[in-house]
Amino acid sequence: MSTLTVSLRARTHTRLALAVVVTCQLMIGLDSTIVTIALPRIQQDVGFSPTGLSWVMNAYLLAFGGLLTLGGRAGDILGRRRVFVAGVLVFTLGSLMGGLATAAWGLLAARAAQGVGAAVAGPSILALIATTFPEGAARNRAISLYSAVTGAGGSIGLILGGLLTDTTSWRWVFFVNVPIGLLVVALAPRFISEPDRHPGRFDVAGAVTVTGGMVSLVYALVTVADAGWREAAPAFVAAAALLAGFAAVETRARQPIVPPALLADRTRAAAYLVQLLLAAGMFGFFFLMTQFVQLVLGLDPLRAGFAFLPMALTQFAVVRVVPRLLPRFGARAVIVAGTTLSLAGLVWLTRVGPGTGYADGVLGPMLLLGIGGGLSFMPLNATILAGVGPRESGAASGLAQTMVWAGGALGSAVLVTVFGTAMRDGTLVGGMAAAFATAAVFAALALAAAALAIPGRRG
């Protein structure tokens, strides 16, 4: 067998491995929004209050965001391919449970199970990319595809969710994951090589305290929107105690769930912060805009899903050219440009009113957010993984995804709180405008962090 043939087979094998892990990432990204478009139908069939409905999203986001760092550590210790397959199986089972749920508690339990599965599988995706592709152009191209799928997956989820909800039933937004998950489980052992394991201990106490603290905090914020600050006070106290306990546990843990070396680098720490803040604004946008296009513009679920198509196509196209922009302009310039455009889109949305139409008030902000997200997230991931050794790649990628999904959960909770409070004092559209203004504040903070804390270095 010639050297060229061996090289071609190795390259094909690598590409198929990338296709398998990116397919899993697409499934996870789709699930962050595919349910969103079906929320009005779920509310009718299962029964949720307008603000309580956000728990259909937050049950998934909290389990995912809270356990991602533990999932990353599990991949480092037990083997990333093994943990990856186990997570996909749990996610697939949760999807089946969600499609069969007949009560609110059952649906929320299924969403939490999906979040746990995604938290176990998710960190291994980026970690497997980091260990399969050497740092530089090859890794940047792989991360570009990963980021394109991650970013566009949210918009594609809305389109697919609208199609399934309108033509079949909202239950199919869960059932659609089952064949995809089984396919990934079947192909992963064949094409994905198992990287070396790194013996260590699990920081279970850290994972439990940070997850409990985040759940309490989001519950408190949602309770404020529903019942007021007095009723939410106990949850705020519990959140403060648990998060303080997490900080104490991490300072004493022999092998903390967040290795201190990951945050010792100023550039990496700033990239994590930008991810958290930018995701807080973007996830809230999806939740609110889905309600706006259906309740205010009067679009059915299918048309509402396709309303997000320009954003999905724009983001996917932009993120594919980012690897060529990084060597020329550097990460900070690209990230700053992206966060600036995202901020402009959210500020534009603060002008929504009862007479706002799709073409004059929604399409423009969506295009700006698509371009901004496409420019931002790929260089942020590349910045985070730069210089990270194989031993900590799982923890680094797990923390990166934690920032995105935990930021999304907290941001959605804050925006729902603002929306509910403003809506009580005014109108539905007025509440949305106030919430979009809050999302713009998150984007402005992300822009400030990127401009001030990420060095302007080349490449």
Per-residue model confidence as pLDDT tens digits over 374-389 = 899 888 988 888 777 7
User: Which carries the bigger pLDDT value, residue 282 or residue 457?
Assistant: 282
Lowest-confidence range among 46-50, 55-59, 165-169, 404-408? 46-50
Where do we find the tokens 């973007």?
Answer: 282
Residue-wise pLDDT tens digits, 307-346: 888 888 888 888 888 888 888 888 889 999 999 999 999 9
Average pLDDT over residues 207-224: 77
Buried b (16+ CB within 10 A) or exposed e, 412-446: bbbbbbbbbbbbeeeebbbbbbbbbbbbbbbbbbb
Structure tokens at 377: 């997230």
Mean pLDDT across the stretch 30-41? 79
For the chain, percent of residues with pLDDT exceeding 90: 21
**pLDDT at position 10:** 58
In this prediction, residue 346 carries a pLDDT of 95
Is residue 24 over pLDDT 70?
yes
Cα separation values, 263 from 269, 333, 380, Å: 5, 22, 14
Q: Which of 266, 288, 265, 229 is nearest to 415 (CA)?
A: 288
Top pLDDT among 380 and 14 is at 380
Is the pLDDT reported for residue 194 higher than 70? no
Compute the distance between CA of residue 181 and CA of residue 192 in angstroms, rounded to an integer.
15
For range 415-441, the mean pLDDT = 85
Give the pair of three-digit tokens for residue 193: 């090589």
**Number of residues in the chain:** 459
Give pLDDT, residue 71. 78
- What domains are defined for the chain? 10-193+204-453 (1.20.1250.20)
According to the model, what pLDDT value does residue 240 have? 92
CA distance 362 to 313: 15
224-282, pLDDT tens digit by residue? 666 677 888 898 899 899 989 988 888 887 777 777 777 778 888 899 999 999 988 88
Buried b (16+ CB within 10 A) or exposed e, 247-258: eebbeebeebbb
pLDDT category of residue 459 using cuts at 50, 70 and 90: very low
Place of tokens 């105690």: 241
N- to C-terminal Cα separation, the chain: 38
Q: Please compute the mean of the pLDDT values over residues 3-8 and round it to a whole number.
A: 51
3-state secondary structure of 336: helix
Q: Which residue has the tokens 């079949």?
A: 168
Q: Which residues contact 158 (CB under 8 A, 6 or more apart)?
A: 33, 34, 36, 37, 286, 290, 304, 305, 308
Residue 402 pLDDT > 60: yes
The pLDDT of residue 458 is 46
Sequence-distant (6+) residues with CB within 8 A of 107 are: 42, 46, 56, 98, 101
What is the percentage of the chain residues whose pLDDT exceeds 70? Answer: 89
Q: Please, where are the H alpha helices in 168-203?
A: 172-175, 177-191
Give the pLDDT score at 3.
55
Per-residue pLDDT band at 131 (split at 50, 70, 90): confident
pLDDT digits (tens, 9 = 90+) for 59-77: 887 777 667 777 777 777 7
- Integer Cα distance of 158 and 248 in angstroms: 40
Q: What is the mean pLDDT of residues 67-93?
A: 84
- What band does 287 get if pLDDT is binned at 50, 70 and 90? confident
Confidence class for position 5, pLDDT limits 50, 70, 90: low
The residue with tokens 């559209």 is 429
User: Is residue 110 very low, low, confident or very high in pLDDT (cuts 50, 70, 90)?
Assistant: very high
Mean pLDDT value of segment 38-43:
82
The two structure tokens encoding residue 54: 């956000």
pTM equals 0.77
- Distance between CA atoms of 156 and 149, rounded to whole angstroms? 9
The mean pLDDT of 209-228, rounded to a whole number, is: 74
Residue 219 has pLDDT above 50, yes or no: yes
Task: Give residue 222's pLDDT.
Answer: 66
φ, ψ at 2 (rounded to 5°): -75, 160
